[in-house]
Amino acid sequence: MAYNEELAERIRAAVKLFPEPFTEKKMFGGIAFLYGGKMTVGPVKDDLMVRIVSDKMGAALQQDFVRPMDFTGKPMKEFIFVSAEGFKTEEQLQGWIELGLEHAKSKL
């Protein structure tokens, strides 16, 4: 399963703006960007996968262009997909990365 390399490059550039160190790992048919060994965000095909703390899932799913991550055929806990319209700007992408980073920090 291919992933959007342009999106991966956008994420690589965006995570450099954070003081926290991110690493990359191939998973879900794409690349996951990890903090402290915990998944934060990553491209899966043309979507952005984001890991979100449980108490923010409801609000996230109310946003346009967001849906539960259903990689296995049923929604996965604390994962969402954001379609391309939901991260057109660098500010939008940065916001999703911040949510993913928040989740990773909550698991350390």
Question: For the domain that residue 99 is a member of, what is the CATH number?
Answer: 3.30.1460.30
What pLDDT does residue 73 have?
84
What pLDDT does residue 1 have?
54
- Number of domains the chain contains: 1
Tens digit of each residue's pLDDT, the chain (108 residues): 589 999 999 999 999 999 999 999 998 778 999 999 999 999 999 999 999 999 999 999 999 999 999 877 889 999 999 999 999 999 999 999 999 999 999 999
Domain extent for 62: 5-106
Nearest of 42, 44, 48, 57 to residue 106 by alpha carbon: 57
Q: Which two three-digit tokens encode residue 75?
A: 């929604």
Which residue has tokens 């379609």?
83
Going from the C-alpha of 94 to that of each of 11, 13, 53, 89, the distances in angstroms are: 8, 10, 16, 9
Strand partners of residue 48: 43, 82
What type of residue sits at position 77? K
